[in-house]
A = this chain, B = another copy of it.
Amino acid sequence: MSTILMKSRGLAAERLADVLREDILSGRIASGERLGEVALAERFEVSRGPVRAALNLLNEAGIVTIVPNSGARVRELGRADARALYEVRAALEAEAAMLAAARAGPETAALFGDLLDQHAGEIAAHPEGAYLQGAGDRDFHMVIARMADNPIILRYLARELYPQLSLLRVKHRNVTGRGAKALNEHKRIAAAIADGDAEVAGLLMRRHIRNSWTALEAQLSETAKEME
């Protein structure tokens, strides 16, 4: 079992939530599956108190749904959820790009250059184009979110929207082959941000997210059919 019980310091609930989140986003616990409190308490050798707290944490993140008096299950994201997710992503990431452009300094261009060169290498190594799913794509967007210097945007993206996105991809086995195209879009966004051009950066980011959505939507329709 991968459950290493490092009884280190810190809230027990957060450690449990970390392990559970990893289990869910890696697909070890499937969408819709029950998350009984006693079962989890036994597995982690802990009482039900911290387990409840951990489930609440995952509920905040939007990857678990809790029905009062009934229990917690891994959330099942449908097409409508995915659409809503991408609408919010477009708004928040475009805003983040605009803010990042406003805060860009002389060293910004070099920073993006290094990052994107590294990503180009990853894509060359895996031509299948798992880029969009791997650490690369997420990294690029996270760098911008951090540059925006807005704790709320950062929290929404990192703690809620991205986990839900991962859950969506695990469920629908999404592996877009958009790697090379996405990288190109990233380059143009980076250039606009480094130039301090907030308006264009926001516009390009919004378009980038929309393209990502179109690609995902197509796959959603497919797996929806083969799932019936």
Contact = CB atoms under 8 A, between A and B. Distances in A.
Interface of A: 10-11, 49, 52-53, 56, 60, 68, 81, 84-85, 87-88, 90-92, 94-95, 99, 150-153, 156
B152 A84 contact: yes
Given A56-B53, A56-B56, A11 B68 contact: yes
A150 B95 contact: no
20 contacts: A11-B68, A49-B49, A56-B56, A60-B60, A84-B150, A84-B151, A84-B153, A85-B152, A87-B95, A87-B99, A87-B150, A87-B153, A88-B92, A88-B150, A88-B152, A88-B156, A91-B91, A91-B92, A91-B94, A91-B153
A25 B88 CA distance: 27
Contacts of A85: 152
A153 B88 contact: yes
Given A11-B68, A84-B151, 5 more contacts: A84-B152, A88-B95, A88-B150, A91-B91, A156-B156
Nearest to A59: B60
Nearest to A53: B56
A152 B68 CA distance: 20
Contacts of A152: 84-85, 87-88
A187 B69 CA distance: 45
A220 to B, nearest CB: 17
A12 B68 CA distance: 11
A86 to B, nearest CB: 10
A160 to B, nearest CB: 8
Highest count of chain B CB atoms <10 Å: which of A49, A85, A99, A150: A150
A52 B50 CA distance: 11
A156 B89 CA distance: 13
Nearest to A99: B87
Highest count of chain B CB atoms <10 Å: which of A68, A81, A87, A91: A91
